Amino acid sequence: MTWRQALLLSCFSAVVLLSMLREGTGAPVGTTPAAKEEASEDAKQRIFMQESDASNFLKRRGKRSPKSRDEVNAENRQKLRADELRREYYEEQRNEFENFVEEQNDEQEERSREAVEQWRQWHYDGLYPSYLYNRHHI
């Protein structure tokens, strides 16, 4: 009895699997010839490029032949754009570093000013200006 159940279960799963695969492929079974032709045209447009693009793609300039004016201009525009981007990037980096250094210097000046003020308060002898700086040397 168990072998019959196993056989029935395997056949049922095979039928379900085949029906899913057939629906998943989306093959145009039973469609009209016009629909098939439209589908093939759509596929061709996605795969192939226009004739003018293809001919321009296949036209290659020899290594020793001079570049056209358009090629030279396009290359120069690309180089100028790259230079401009590089300049902007380094300018931004320099500005960030200058701001960082300025903040560090400000903090250091503040710490040293506080230290000097604390030293003056500690060594103040009640006279103004304090006696240490107002000694009369004989």
Amino acid sitting at position 90 = Y
Q: What is the model's pLDDT at position 66?
A: 86
Sequence-distant (6+) residues with CB within 8 A of 61 are 67, 68, 71
- Distance CA(58)–CA(64), nearest Å, equals 17
Instruction: Note the pLDDT of residue 75.
Output: 93
Q: Are 49 and 57 in contact (CB under 8 A)?
A: yes
Q: Exposed/middle/buried for 80, CB within 10 Å: 0-12, 13-18, 19+?
A: exposed
Domain boundaries along the sequence of the chain: 69-137
Name the stretches of the chain with pLDDT < 50.
Answer: none
Reply yes or no: is the peptide bond before residue 129 cis, omega within 30 of 0.
Answer: yes
Alpha carbons 133 and 135: distance in angstroms, whole number: 6
Q: pLDDT value at position 2? A: 84
Q: Are 123 and 130 in contact (CB under 8 A)?
A: yes
Distance CA 32, CA 12 (A): 32
